[in-house]
Amino acid sequence: MIGVREYITHFLFGGILFTLIHYIANILDNTALAAIVAFLPISILTGYIIIGHERLLKYYKSAFSVCLGTVISYIGLFALFYSGIFSDNVLIFLTMLLWGIIQWYIYKIDFFLKTQS
């Protein structure tokens, strides 16, 4: 069972990561480096906190599906971005909404396939 100390450590790591991205993008004005930090493969690093080989394998398979859904969301983001129809905040909101819908469908399809076998 995970203790409070570990939860605090995980929470602080996320806060440090967001702060670092903000600093690099806005203060250093280096969006390329900020994107690299933002896409730091957290989904790979979190493998250190998942216990059990089989569970870890299932986790990485799920993470791959999430990654594909994210790529689809980015395609939608760029299509809307270049259209110039929406403000930045609306664009981000719509992309997150699209991402959530895609992830929900991926989850439901994965769940359906698991129950069929």
pTM of the model: 0.70
Q: How far apart are CA 34 and CA 24, in angstroms?
A: 5
Is 69 exposed, middle or buried, given 0-12, 13-18 or 19+ CB atoms closer than 10 A?
A: buried
* pLDDT score of 86: 92
pLDDT tens series, the chain, 117 aa: 668 888 888 788 888 888 999 999 999 999 999 988 888 778 888 888 899 999 999 899 888 889 999 999 999 999 988 988 999 999 999 999 999 999 999 888 876 666 665
Is 73 exposed, middle or buried, given 0-12, 13-18 or 19+ CB atoms closer than 10 A?
A: buried
